[in-house]
Chains A and B, each alone.
Chain A
Amino acid sequence: MNRVTKLASVAAGIALAATACGNSSTSTSSGSGSSTDWSKSTSATAGGGMDALVAAAKKEGSLNVITLPRTWANYGKLMDDFTAKYGIKITDANPDGSSGDEITALQHQKGLAAAPDVVDVGNSHALPYVSLFAPYKVATWSDIPDTLKNSNGAWYGDYGGYITIACDASKISGTSCPTTFADLAKPANAAAYKGKVAINGDPTSANAAFSAVWAASLANGGSLDNIQPGIDFFAKLKSLGVFNATHSTESTIEQGSTPISVDWEFNNSQYAADLKAKGITLTVAVPGDGLYSAYYDQAINKYAPHPAAARLWEEYLYSTTGQNDFMGGYARPAEFDAMQTANTLDAADLANLPKVTGTPQIATGAQLTAAQNTVTAKWASALG
């Protein structure tokens, strides 16, 4: 082998080894230099006050978030405004990932500088993983309803919504848009709705689809302890020819494959706003017979590389601005009731939310697990 080839292969080998070794690096210490170790603080006051928190966060300078799509519940605006206000750069890893991906990241990226600082997961992934989270109570802790938070502060609901039925009337001929689950299953409507009703994915994998099945169950004699009627309902829709197993997205609604979409209100309302610009009118209705809502939960990584910035982010999300911004994204903020009493709800954002009458029930951890197991075992065989 001549000298040039030898040199080239040695150089390539070094470069390969360098890239392999250079990616992961252990995180440096929190770098705050001050006396507070923010990774152990359970509230802003315990750590020395909001000003100390802001100063420490600014010193850290960056925040790692994960699986936050910019168009989901107005996260784009929230992230931009946070960066503008505090000068803290936000890095969003895997924006289209799932709650499962977030928990996996927490478990496997412990100690890395790129590990997520905060997570936004569904209830199903918050309740079993309390040991991964650092307890922290935001300044407005008492405004969050008790049913929506862990008593120690491990996780706390941030926003949620009801399951709604969105409908593009121009693609339905012969009858009006459905406003309840009963409308969907009426044989008289079957011809008009043929192949048009869809949910947001696979109920064993997508929270929105799982919740749609549960809402259908509540509308058909089921309860939070019994999701089987929901599976039976969708099997009935399939036998009527009305159910379309395609994953409904804004594109499929626009294209006309899934003009009736059973999804979270914040998704359906966002689609309605986006499609209005394209001349398509989507009406969003909260079905009175199947009132199901769920909230997503915030939590701070116990081993967050930027503990002060993580805590400041939580304070921001639970401030009046943050909670109103969730409404701007068509989601219901967790502190809705308290803010309504205190009259701090932004009127323009409030107009985004459809009117709802009735009180929703929130499922417990045990009910969630039981329902998940039922759906996993029965969905494919009922609808196959």
Chain B
Amino acid sequence: MKFHFFHLMPYPELPADLRDRYRSVWVDLPVKEVYDPVVGNRAYNEYLDELEYADAVGFDGICVNEHHQNGYGGMPSPNLMAAALARRTSSAKLVVLGNTVPLYNPPTRIAEEFAMLDVLSGGRLVAGMPLGSAMDTVYAMGQSPTTLREKYRESVELITRAWKADKPFAFNGKYTQLRYVNPWPRPLQDPHPPIWIPGTGSVETWSWCVDNDYLYAYLSFFGYQGAKKMMDGYWEVVAERGAEINPYSAGFVQTVAVADSDAHAEDLYSEAAAYFYNRCLYLYPGFVAPPGYMSAASMRKGIEGQMQQAAAMSPDLTWSEMIERGYIIAGHPDTVTERLDDLTTQLNVGQLMVLLHFGNLPGDRTIDNIGRFASEVAPKLRSKFSQYRDRWTPGATRSVAPAAVGSGR
């Protein structure tokens, strides 16, 4: 098993009456009214400390991601954070999950920046390439929902071709035309870092990932029971196409909270969990699935992305409901271990991304959660799936340069 510490970097001081005063945490939540840069300064630095700490205590990877105009995820540019982390960490892989592909113009900017991160970090980069949420792409950044997927696929093709080509080439795409494709630098991992695709609930993504050997990551905050339908769909496609059923080709995100006892977990974490589900995921339904964003095939299959689920969620979710439904796995290390064992078996997922900071969880509790997960949970599951070869996380770090100066802690 591989363990990756996933950080969303939410804004930690969303107003308690957010739901009464505004219609959404995303897109049109007025930045001048709600965002205090002094709070942001403290939060960014604490969050980077937490990611660095996860490296120090032995996580396989540390994850950052991209979102725009919102209080849910505070990194419009995850590459800036990954660059800071490249200098302050030494062994964890840098899982950028990822660069929202349709928003980079031309897309070869992703080839350049990811290559910079890979070279800088000594080959530790995981190159995540999501389509992006509708809030980010359509509403915040003005992309057409009708052509978004086509533009996305074309752009990923351009980026990977740029990394693999032996010579500069011309690219005559529908969305990008370039006379000379020859991005510098090139990645340290040859020909390129592993590519992870966070699925947004589209059935077409499965076969595309399998055929291109991309890792398929299902990002849901609604528990593994609900995610089973999606992951079963993925594994069916893997089998249909005769590819290897390898748990390391699949990723899943789970919110986890470790405590002395199951009851103690509620004391420590329930407030932050409520903040996460009631404020960070407070989405206006009119922003989650614009026409053209979901394919007819996905709609017929009744598939909903995580954002559609969030928008439809009840605001009065209790801690026990979150636990029961598996939204959060919390409690004594044995409880957590047992449920994660079940989760990874049920979904057959070898890349477990754990959200150990969520909502407005204070820094000291987050550090504690990270430390306890690393020392009391991860070791018990570490050997699971060891019979498989993981081709989707970067291999041994190249000792081309000291990866960090005065590294981390």
Q: A and B, one complex?
A: no
| Contacts from A to B (Cβ < 8 Å) | none
Interface residues, chain B, with chain A CB atoms under 8 Å away: none
